[in-house]
Amino acid sequence: MRRMTARPENTHQARLLRLLRDNGSNSRAQLGDLVDLSRSKLAVEVDRLLETGLVVADGLAPSRGGRRSHNIRLAPTLRFLGVDIGATSIDVAVTNAELEVLGHLNQPMDVREGPVAVFEQVLAMAAKLRASGLAEGFDGAGIGVPGPVRFPEGVPVAPPIMPGWDGFPVREALSQELGCPVMVDNDVNLMAMGEMHAGVARSVGDFLCVKIGTGIGCGIVVGGEVYRGTTGSAGDIGHIQVEPEGRACVCGNRGCLEAHFSGAALAADAEQAAREGRSAHLAARLETVERLTAEDVSAAAAAGDPVALELIRAGGKRLGQVIAGLVSFFNPGLVVIGGGVTGLGHTLLASVRTQVYRQSLPLATGNLPIVLGELGPAAGAIGAARLISDHVFSPA
């Protein structure tokens, strides 16, 4: 079960591994252009990487006007596991060393069932992916949980929506079970990493990634690195006050953003509208299902239901207020909006944009794109794979 994946011996090797991860197969000559090492040094390091098995030869590159160069690539047998535990579902993906998703499973599950039950499920899903021939074992696993994490130890801390998880040694436990290195992070941070690696945020140094799911969170990226804050709770914007005497929130305060707009709040608003007969569309839907969800609102909006559209617009305005403040404060180069309710799509986006561009100063918004995430439900799992690959591809 346990795989002894080699680790790079120095920063040069780590650099090369990451280049190969991000740019795919590459010729030795091309690598030479990228890394500013002498030919001899480069040859030595590449040879050592080939010896460790992390890297393998991959045929000849096309000629660039002279002798053809030898291609190398990351070992095609390397596998990373990306796990994204949401409030109501679990995503598990297998990737190769280039972080391309080879297989992806999604399973509904309430995180409140506790770490033991969730773990069982995650392991079962991982086993299923392995059984389907996608992987023989894993060289590393990243896992995201919907709450703050003490990052160095990989342990959730005081997660409001995850009773029973406080202090559970997620990293240690999963590492034991899978027999490979594991890193744990907040799900929102992983979404940000995913979008940074393979999504809209490629080549942006400083950006925000707002995730609207059951709750609302925000990933913060500073200089290409996720910023986690002093206690790992940075980006917890769900409980910023948007209405001085607003709705009561589960956190005990009033007027929190999450209480006014989030997957949960949207569903509640929709149900109320349906019951009060304000929306025929939503009422009809409520006849067939027990409880409405954010997806129902999204469907109603797509069908042109005015009440649903208004709910989304009002929510976008609230969200926009908060984002406007964050933009003034943080002056990001990009704002990404993602998460389960991306289905709300452009209605939401338009509403957020209007609010931000109106409220923030021109210097901060001047060239500020506000866009939807590109990776959809896979963002978290890809980010998780990226997290662990950064770890595995760094000197031991």
Partner DNA sequence: CTTCTTTCTCCACATGCAGGACAAAGTTTG
Partner DNA sequence: CAAACTTTGTCCTGCATGTGGAGAAAGAAG
- Least distance to a copy of itself from the beta carbon of 307, Å? 23
Q: Which of 195, 151, 246, 232 is nearest to 381 (CA)?
A: 195
Pairing mode, if any, of strands 207-212 and 26-27?
A: unpaired
Q: Which does 233 bind (CB under 5 to 8 A by kind): a copy of itself, DNA, none?
A: a copy of itself
Q: Which of 228, 206, 225, 204 is nearest to 217 (CA)?
A: 228
Q: Which two tokens stand for residue 286?
A: 């409520």
Distance CA(181)–CA(175), nearest Å, equals 6
Binding mask 4-23 for DNA (x = CB under 7 A): --------x-----------
Among 3, 19, 32, 376, binds DNA (CB under 7 A): 32
- Least distance to a copy of itself from the beta carbon of 236, Å? 5
Angle between helices 345-359 and 306-330 (to 10 degrees): 40
Among 360, 373, 381, 393, binds a copy of itself (CB under 8 A): 360
Distance CA(285)–CA(198), nearest Å, equals 36
Q: Which does 127 bind (CB under 5 to 8 A by kind): a copy of itself, DNA, none?
A: none
Residue 127 makes contact with DNA by CB under 7 A: no
Q: Are 211 and 157 in contact (CB under 8 A)?
A: no
- Least distance to a copy of itself from the beta carbon of 330, Å? 6
Q: Which does 231 bind (CB under 5 to 8 A by kind): DNA, a copy of itself, none?
A: a copy of itself
Q: Which does 114 bind (CB under 5 to 8 A by kind): a copy of itself, DNA, none?
A: none
Stretch (H or E) spanning 364: helix 362-365
Residue 124 makes contact with a copy of itself by CB under 8 A: no
Residue 366 makes contact with DNA by CB under 7 A: no
Q: Is 53 left (phi over 0), alpha (psi -120 to 50) or beta?
A: left
Residue 57 makes contact with DNA by CB under 7 A: no
- Least distance to a copy of itself from the beta carbon of 122, Å? 25
DSSP per position, 144-183: EESS-EETTTTEE-S-TT-TT-TT--HHHHHHHHHTS-EE
Q: Are 382 and 93 in contact (CB under 8 A)?
A: yes
> Based on CB atoms, which residue is closest to DNA, 69 or 189?
69
- Least distance to DNA from the beta carbon of 229, Å? 35
> Based on CB atoms, which residue is closest to a copy of itself, 282 or 335?
335
Q: Indicate the residue type of 86.
A: G
> Based on CB atoms, which residue is closest to a copy of itself, 5 or 365?
365
**CA separation, residue 308 to residues 127, 281, 296, 298, 299 (Å):** 41, 9, 9, 7, 9
Binding mask 69-98 for DNA (x = CB under 7 A): xx----------------------------
SS3 261: coil
Q: Which does 230 bind (CB under 5 to 8 A by kind): a copy of itself, DNA, none?
A: a copy of itself
Stretch (H or E) spanning 143: strand 140-145
Burial state string for 254-279 with b = 16 or more CB within 10 A and e = fewer than 16? ebbbbbbbbbbbbbebbbebbeeeeb
> Other C-beta atoms within 10 Å of 44: how many?
13
Among 1, 65, 136, 289, binds DNA (CB under 7 A): 65
Q: Which does 157 bind (CB under 5 to 8 A by kind): a copy of itself, DNA, none?
A: a copy of itself
Residue 233 makes contact with a copy of itself by CB under 8 A: yes
Task: Kindly identify the residues of this chain, within the stretch 189-218, that bind a copy of itself according to CB under 8 A.
Answer: 205-206, 218
How many residues interact with DNA (rule CB under 7 A)? 21
Among 23, 34, 39, 395, binds DNA (CB under 7 A): 39
Which residues make up the interface to DNA (CB under 7 A)? 12, 27-29, 32, 37-41, 43-44, 60, 63-70
